[in-house]
Structure 1
């Protein structure tokens, strides 16, 4: 049996033949009836003559109908006294396989129709008791009952409402009815709005021809019923009053299929194309037909269920096909069998895919023809959601489906649209990050000064300088009294006066040279800073010019003058000329510091300052050489004292003399009094900058909110099981690893030990942070430094600050990642009743994921799902999932491998394919297929599906287990 299962067909359940007393043209033949119904595409009809079942005519019409594929159901129309305005008409319909002689005999003897023979009454003079007759038809004779309803003549509405007990009687009668036969299509609205809520159940509604003359066959509207064109199919359909009955020109799903024939798979074809082996027969020229709505593939464990889904995915270049259960590299492919068989699929359009060997590897560059969700995909998402970033991409794709074309601005993907919207914000983030990088260098420089070894080195240098100064003080030369202060000669006086004058000039020049050196140093700083400023301004200017140039086409389209919105000018010659002037000053001053060649033979006034100094030193030396005796010794002692004082001055130094005693002590004073304040201020400034980045990223997140507006409206209207999509910040999956990569976990501290350190980072810092809250992010940025400098392990007593350089590797990389907030990105979070996907149980996750694909995904290509229930509990299946499967199959073909009765049965699968593999006879793969209403398929469902008997028992009216 290889049927596509339940399909939409046209029915007529109220049809009269020549046997009705009021038939319009008794000359018509039974063949005329069949021919006309065939012309109107009727697949099944019920003979409903007034108060009579013409057995011979029924059999003849059945025989004629069989040749044309038309099923004829025996039936009868009754009249009942409504105790109101006019009689109520109701109809009994029976199985085409029923014992019609017995049924007619029971009706003739157990209803008021017996009066036709017994009392000689006419057929239209007989009124059967409504409730008693209905009970006879349903309870004793196995039939179903339809009743005129709505604005159709002789309907249930004619029953009086004048007394309270009459209203109750009316409701009781309605509860006995299987089908309401309406007079016009619009009657459905009132019944759905008023009658069904009162009955607390839905009842199928139909419109029929009520034809009394085949030559004038017309219908107010077509009646479509989904199911086998049999009484069995009709009875099954009663349990799905909304899903299997349709009044109108064409069911929406049929129109959808006809308009999208390339999106519905008609059949899967598998055949042998390689070596034949009696021990491995497997697939032998199989053509598996597929229904256009819900197809469920069932079978025992190892029966080849997943083979069908895997092969479909392989033929369709579907995603996730590497996760196959059957066509796995370690299973069917490894056995050297896959290359012996080929497969292809045919769509309703007639298009066939290229035949492929089962060893074929999916080409990811090709457009996928189906969406495939294998078992392993659900397991990954449900059990390792923190590692499956790909699912977030899936959410983005679905959200993008809801963005109206006019809001997509010509972008073909979500990534393109969001990139367009966030471009400006990301540029600002880049600039802020650059300033953070500069701060990081300053902070690292300050942190390096907190290194205890740095202070030890400084103290060591100070001790050495103090020892040097102490030793120098102890070596102070003795000053000799001037031997000639009372009796010095005129010549000596002149020499001393000349010497004093020369020393004064020398000291003055030395001071001038020191001033010049400091001025050159200051100007060099100004030159470097000016050149940097010039580069920065030039870059900004060029960037702004580029932005203006890029915006020109837009301004032209919008009709505004961009030159009036912004005016930009940059004259770098202003800065360059000043830099040039500073450089010229330095060049001029540098000449003063240079000692001239052959200065000794040149005119003194023409010499540079440095040369003049040398000349003065030479003259002083010459005068010293002219002193003799005690006077010479005295002058030498003065020179020694002067040199000693200069050396003492050099040792003591000043705040600008590197490694001098005053310089070193000022550094030590800074360490003790100011370093922590400056470091804290810089760190706070860095966090302020980080929060500026967070603010810019929040602007980007607002773009995510804007893009999801349409899908949010869909969720609000649908109220899909508490499902919502929120835009949130998330901490990237590799953030923890990137931090730990730059932390020395073999050093005692918060992150000591790779496993313990990783757990503490995750549990106490990352998991405790609300990445959507700036205060919480700020607290994290504070704490990460605290945890690096202090031991925050449980039970740790250490309160001393650890030098951060001892526990980190590359602080520049570490700080850039952390304080640049590179790890925080906006994304869409799938939530149920406010709980994030990560917070749900595996079963809740599985149900939510399926609802996501079934309800929100607007893709119209077939959806192939392999055993999703493995990650679900039965309650989730029945209460959450089933309603959405039934809704989704209206819009796309669903092919699902399952062993769960709630999915196969309660979801009202249109086609069930039962597969099996005969492992004792060459692993022959075989299948049967059909609708659930088919008794053979019914038996297979009971035999295969786990827990099915309770499921069938609970809904015994829906299933006929043979």
Structure 2
């Protein structure tokens, strides 16, 4: 026994035939040939027919004769539909109820007539049973003019009304009836329960509908109501009506034109084998197994469905041909029976086994093909797809993973799941799979030509990461400048002292020089002093021009370097950052950084200008003359003269001061020394002025750094928002979902690693041995956690900036007091202060991270089993873009039965409507409560020495009694699962 199990077939649950007791419009002549020919030619074809008549089974028995004679070869199932009229008034008549009788019992006709005989109608001071003979009697008693038995039967049928309470009692008292009869009631207003409108009859209507197993209605609204999708929940349906009920619709044909032609092509479809048990299963699972419409519900795309598996050259495969259902296929069996073997064989034919799977250690691998590698031989598998294609693959993996092959199915082998959901922590594989699903949840238009999630993420966030890096570099530069200004501030006192000392030294030298003046030369000395001061001013100017000239030369070097290496490298980096620009080399040339003006010409001119100014200030020495004749007139403006004549005049005057050569040399030496010290004084005064302005500049730089710090967080927040945008489609779907799927959530947030940030400072930057607020380990971390962490992780850029400003205002002096160097250790303190500022304003400890949580717990902290649920959530519920078959080996591993029932059942039910799902399982929940469409039972024989045991398979649907028995014998489950499958398997539980 091997079949595809539960497939959709068209049923005709309500059709009359020629000779029907009431409203027979098929014609007086023999209409059966035309009637049967019409049925045989219908499209879509009818494969199961409930032959309907009022109170009797005459037309059903006639049907059986024609079927035995070779008619209706495409119809596999015939069964009686006995229509009764209750004594409950409807809108235009009475409520009709139908007894659908299973034909499984060879004596079903005798038995149902025995049941009908127990239904009685009282009239004319007499009792009439529901039999052909009694209906004829009733007809004749009701109309004494009728003498023909046929006419009397028809008239009697119009008079006979079944008492609802009696019908319910008769059915309830008969074990045969409860086992073999399904009750259907019309849901229409005319002759159905919808016509029972009086308030006083509301309870009667509810009782009738509760008694019924099936509602005859083609209304989509009624179907939605009866499966718990409109107005009431499934729990309410169970409380009020004994559960959900399938809606079916027939042509109710009473004439040749309407045979098998319901209005608007509202055909009835039942999923299951063509046996009466399929109708019983539809009563258990109305939503999944019964449908009214032109076509049955669509499931997987045919080209993406494996329709047949054939194992060749394998003496161990005693069932080499296995058809597969397009929905949910459950492979069950005892341990070691060959369940995983079949999954591996199918996966091999789909090129879905990874290289790691083929290369797995045969001694420890759960894979059948890996363990049996040395015994497989030349065995192959051939898969036939729903689109008609056939693919053959070797079962030893010799032709696997070729450069032209691609996985045509998704295989969640035990090894694959263990690798992704290891107890050692979330592997990259699980994160990669999650990111793949997130990526594929975006439409093609939103992917910006990216090939995977990582590329899309980089495209969306690169701009903000680059902005963060730029601002972080700016903070580092500003911090260096602030450190320099801090150092200058500390030099004010020292420079002030040095300036005073230098001025006193110059005064002392000047006094010493005055003592060398010979009496009578005072005028010359005074003139010499004037000339010396003028010369000093000229030398200062010459030095300033010299400094400018050196700067211009350095700029020339920088310009040459920028042209040769700097600008081309910056262009190359920009091209690398924006490689999706589509610009060609010529277009990129426009982005090469060049100087706005002719800087070469300008710098050459600036150097020439500085040289000219220096030459003008130096001047040309005058030729030697009379030592007693002044080289510069007393009335000459010294500020307009160059240095050379002034120096010459000073030398002439020095020669006149004394006849003593030694005195003259001392005078000259002191004059030169005074000039040097004046030059040094000017340098010190310049530095002092610069140092005195350092505090103001530092404050400006600190404000600038604060602003830049805020911009760093703007970039971080923008990156966070960009990442959130990547997850938006999936997050929106999860937010709108319910049940298990709602437990899964994605969030993007900032993570501030205060521990690492603070520990670095405590260990590397601060001297915690010093007394103060940050003495000892952990005090800085505690302060930062309280003052900075909330803003770092959830604050806006302005709030982060404000928090850092407040933190510095409160703790900076304390932090500086723990510096390992004193400010007087200039070199060490300067290096430390720069490192300190880089740490304080660094953002390396701030990360933008997306988190995946299940039931509020981060995925990194979940057990391996719960991670397995997350993995199945991805494949079963979220991976909409993947319509390939999904093959899963024992998804319940590491899960308790209740978790399987609570978490996975609904996922499999939803998934099988979109793709073919093939699973190996030993859990009853995943077979029965998912209403598996096909159950393949594996069985292995004795294990021969040096070979593989013979493996056989049988297959069918839950509507098959033998399959149900195998399920009961093999599978296990928890209490809730047991009660649910008891309901599905129609087992009564004693409380």
Which TM-score applies when normalising by structure 1?
0.72
Secondary structure of the residue that 2:436 maps to in structure 1? helix
User: Aligned partners of 1:819, 1:589: CA distance in 2, in Å?
Assistant: 50
1:100-137, Cα deviation, whole Å (9 max, x unpaired): 26514522543344664468625442444444335544
* Deviates further, 835-844 or 101-110: 835-844
Which of the numbers 233, 238, 247 marks the counterpart of 2:283? 238
2:929 to 881, 892, 906: 906
| Structure 1 stretches lacking a partner, 5+ long | 274-280, 555-568, 793-797
Change (3 A) 1:123 1:321: farther
Find the partner of 1:355 among 393, 396, 399: 393
- Separation in 2 of the partners of 1:692 and 1:636? 70
Residue in structure 2 matching 1:218, options 260, 264, 277: 260
- Displacement, 1:346? 2.5
Question: 1:847-866 counterparts in 2 under 5 A?
Answer: 847=869, 850-859=872-881, 860-866=883-889
Are 1:226 and 1:245, in contact at CA under 8 Å, matched by a contact in 2? yes
CA shift for structure 1 position 229: 1.0
Distance in 2, Cα, partners of 1:373 & 1:761: 49
Q: Please state if 1:442 is matched with 2:467.
A: no
241, 245, 251: which one aligns with 1:203: 245
Aligned to 1:889: 912
Aligned with 2:115 (options 97, 107, 112): 107
1:787 and 1:446 mapped to 2: Cα distance? 19
Aligned-partner Cα distance in 2 for 1:805–1:538: 36
- Structure 2 partner of 1:46: 50
Mark the CA change 1:150 to 1:679 in structure 2 (over 3 Å): closer, same or farther: same
Partner in structure 1 of residue 77 of structure 2:
72
SS in 2 for 1:573: coil
> Contact conserved, 2:938 with 2:953, CA < 8 A, in 1?
yes
- Residue in structure 1 matching 2:98, options 86, 90, 96: 90
Q: Is the contact made by 1:50 and 1:77 (CA closer than 8 Å) also made in structure 2?
A: yes
CA distance in 1, matches of 2:326, 2:119: 45
Gaps spanning 5+ residues in structure 2: where?
121-128, 138-151, 584-592, 626-630, 633-638, 769-773, 822-827
2:559 pairs with 1:514: no
Give the 5 Å matches for 1:256-405.
260-272=301-313, 286-301=320-335, 303-317=337-351, 322=356, 331=365, 333=370, 336-337=373-374, 340=377, 341-353=379-391, 355-359=393-397, 362=401, 368-374=407-413, 376-377=416-417, 380=420, 384=425, 388-401=430-443
- How far residue 688 of structure 1 moved from its aligned partner, in angstroms, is 2.0
| Whole-angstrom distance in 2 between the partners of 1:310 and 1:599 | 108
Q: Out of 284-293 and 458-467, give the one that drifted further.
A: 458-467
**8 Å contact kept, 2:538–2:617:** no
Question: How far apart are residue 367 of structure 1 and its match?
Answer: 5.5
- Are 2:937 and 2:954, in contact at CA under 8 Å, matched by a contact in 1? yes
Q: Secondary structure at the match of 1:914?
A: strand
For 1:777 and 1:317, the matched residues in 2 are separated by 53
| Conserved? CA contact 1:150–1:182, under 8 Å | yes
SS at 1:927's partner residue? strand
Residue correspondence of structure 1 range 513-912 to structure 2 within 5 A: 513-522=539-548, 572-573=596-597, 581-589=605-613, 591=615, 631-643=660-672, 645=674, 654-655=683-684, 680-681=702-703, 683-694=705-716, 696-697=718-719, 700=722, 704=726, 708=729, 719=738, 723=742, 729-730=748-749, 770=793, 773-774=796-797, 800-801=818-819, 819=843, 823-824=847-848, 847=869, 850-859=872-881, 860-870=883-893, 874-912=897-935
Q: Structure 2: how far apart are the matches of 1:677 and 1:472?
A: 36
Render the CA deviation track for 1:812-836: whole Å, top value 9, x for unaligned. 99879954899437x6x66678887
Equivalent-residue separation in structure 1 for 2:354 and 2:758 (angstroms): 32
- The corresponding residue for 2:273 is 228
What RMSD in Å do the two structures reach over aligned CA positions? 6.2
Distance 2:942 2:647 in 1: 113
1:247 aligns with 2:247: no
The alpha carbon displacement at 1:674 in A equals: 8.0
Q: Tell me, what secondary structure is at the counterpart of 1:869?
A: coil
8 Å Cα contact 1:343/1:355 also seen in 2: yes
Q: CA contact under 8 A between 1:131 and 1:173: conserved in structure 2?
A: no
Check 1:345–1:181 CA distance in 2 against 1; reply closer, same or farther (3 A cut).
same
Task: State the match for 2:126 in structure 1.
Answer: none
**Residues 532 and 101 (structure 1 numbering): CA distance in 2 closer, same or farther, change over 3 Å?**
same
**Secondary structure of the corresponding residue to residue 242 of structure 1:** helix
Contact 2:528 2:653 in 1 (8 A): no
1:945 aligns with 2:981: no
When structure 1 is superposed on structure 2, of 941-950 and 831-840 the one drifting more is: 831-840
Query: CA 1:905/1:531 → structure 2, altered by over 3 Å: closer, same or farther?
Result: farther
- State whether residues 94 and 143 of structure 1, in contact with CA within 8 Å, keep that contact through their aligned partners in structure 2: yes
Aligned partners of 2:843 and 2:63: how far apart in 1?
A: 86
Matched, 1:175 2:210: yes
**Shift in alpha-carbon separation, 1:650–1:215, aligned structure 2, 3 A:** closer
Distance 2:890 2:811 in 1: 48
Cα separation, partners in 2 of 1:185 and 1:774, compared to 1, 3 Å: closer
Residues 109-128 of structure 1 mapped to structure 2, 5 A cutoff: 109-112=117-120, 113=129, 116-117=132-133, 121=137, 123-124=153-154, 125=156, 126-128=160-162
* Cα distance in 2 between the residues matched to 1:938 and 1:98: 22
Deviation at 1:240?
A: 1.1
Q: What CA distance in whole angstroms lies between the structure 1 residues aligned with 2:809 and 2:819? A: 9
Cα 1:702–1:871, aligned 2, differ >3 Å: closer, same or farther? same
Q: 127-136 vs 524-533, which deviates more?
A: 524-533
User: 1:443–1:682: 8 Å Cα contact kept in structure 2?
Assistant: no
Q: 1:715 & 1:873 partners in 2: Cα distance?
A: 25
8 Å contact 1:439–1:686 — kept in the other structure?
Answer: yes
- Structure 1 residues 163 and 883: CA distance shift in structure 2, 3 A: same
Cα separation, 2, equivalents of 1:872 and 1:481: 105
914 and 116 in structure 1: CA distance in 2 versus 1, 3 angstrom threshold: closer
8 Å contact 1:704–1:727 — kept in the other structure? Answer: no
- Paired with 2:531 and 2:363, the residues of 1 have a C-alpha distance of 95
Conserved? CA contact 2:268–2:291, under 8 Å: yes
Structure 2 matches for 1:137-148, cutoff 5 A?
A: 137=171, 139-141=174-176, 142-148=179-185
Q: How far does residue 522 in structure 1 lie from its aligned partner after superposition?
A: 5.0
Deviating more after overlay: 737-746 vs 901-910: 737-746
Deviation at 1:262, TM superposition (A): 1.5
Q: Secondary structure at the match of 2:383?
A: strand
